[in-house]
Amino acid sequence: MTRQQLLDLYFMDARSKLIDIAAFLDRVDRGEGEPDFRLAAFRKALEELQRGEPVRAKSVLMSLSDPTTEPIAKAPGKGAVGAWPGQEAH
């Protein structure tokens, strides 16, 4: 598809999601107390959007991923939270 066709298909949806992200960050800023590691991870992942190559989705996912290679000793629980808390959390 041409860039024009892709803009016609997806611009409004992407615009809506972009404003949702902006509003989310504003909401967190207005909140009280200290944020956990997820906010810093989110902000760092946002930097990947500035890349000039079409690998942004992969880069954002990698930015939020556990980069280690060894199995961990014990499961901290069953769920995932969406961002890697760092080596010391294990």
Q: Which residues bind another protein (CB under 8 A)?
A: 1, 5, 9-10, 55, 57-58, 61-62, 64-69, 71-84
Measured CA to CA, the distance from residue 85 to residue 67 in angstroms comes to: 11
Of the two residues 5 and 32, which places its CB atom closer to another protein in the complex? 5
**Cα diameter, the chain:** 51
Of the two residues 30 and 74, which places its CB atom closer to another protein in the complex? 74
Measured CA to CA, the distance from residue 33 to residue 81 in angstroms comes to: 19
CB of 87 to another protein, least distance (A): 12
Of the two residues 46 and 62, which places its CB atom closer to another protein in the complex? 62
- CA dihedral sign of residues 59, 64, 14, 39: negative
